[in-house]
Amino acid sequence: MASAVIIDPYCLLRAAPLATSTGSLVLATSELIFYSGLVQPPIRKKSDSILADYWRYIFPRGVSLVLVLNFTTIGTSLCNILWTNPCSRPLPVSRTTFYWAGLIGAIGHLAFVPFVAPPIQRILNNTDPDPEAEASKEMDTWLGVHRIRMLVADIPAWLAYVGAAMLIDP
């Protein structure tokens, strides 16, 4: 097929999880930078008054992007594992090993939902004028879980996909 000379679909399939996990990692890093700014001491009190409205605006857009990126990563990883080389073994280290590692990381990102959802829900429901009910405290909680999720799921997944992309077929 002449089009395969220009664009090899298998190369695109192999690169897709790296591209989508890169998007996830860039988004996670951006969230960390921007949301950390909202809890800094000079603007923390102002943030308490706007965080609920801010999250109501940003959450539907952000969660949609996160889900699209993660499910695309998971789907293309599974395709790479099952479709392109269904008989390959994960050990010794092969491209399939890296796709498995990345897949575990991508699924691991979603496994953190029970830990990030409650602080977000409390921020969204924060209409209490009580100074003790600071939304920024919930933002600190979310940021802590977000950092851990990046370290144990997002970064390892991305590194695994880099490994898969760099591995040369024998």
Counts for the chain of helices (H) and strands (E), in that order: 7, 0
Predicted local confidence at residue 40, as pLDDT: 93
Predicted local confidence at residue 110, as pLDDT: 96
Predicted local confidence at residue 170, as pLDDT: 54
Q: Which of 7-11, 69-73, 141-145 has the lowest mean pLDDT?
A: 7-11
Predicted local confidence at residue 169, as pLDDT: 63
The pTM is what? 0.86
% the chain with pLDDT above 90: 64
Cα of 5 vs its chain's centroid, Å = 33
Longest dimension (CA), the chain: 68
Mean pLDDT, all residues of the chain: 88
Average pLDDT on 18-36 reads 96
What the chain holds in terms of domains, given with CATH numbers, is: 9-166 (1.20.120)
CB atoms within 10 A of CB 160: 24
Predicted local confidence at residue 95, as pLDDT: 86
Using alpha carbons, list the distances in angstroms from residue 140 to 23, 32, 37, 66, 136. Answer: 24, 11, 11, 20, 6
Among candidates 144, 135, 158, which has minimal Cα distance to 115? 144
Predicted local confidence at residue 84, as pLDDT: 66
pLDDT tens-place string over residues 80-138 = 998 866 555 555 778 888 999 999 999 999 999 999 999 999 998 876 655 555 888 99
Using alpha carbons, list the distances in angstroms from residue 23 to 29, 65, 104, 155. Answer: 10, 9, 17, 12
pLDDT tens-place string over residues 138-156 = 999 999 999 999 999 999 9
DSSP character at residue 84: S
Predicted local confidence at residue 3, as pLDDT: 53
* 72/97: higher pLDDT: 72
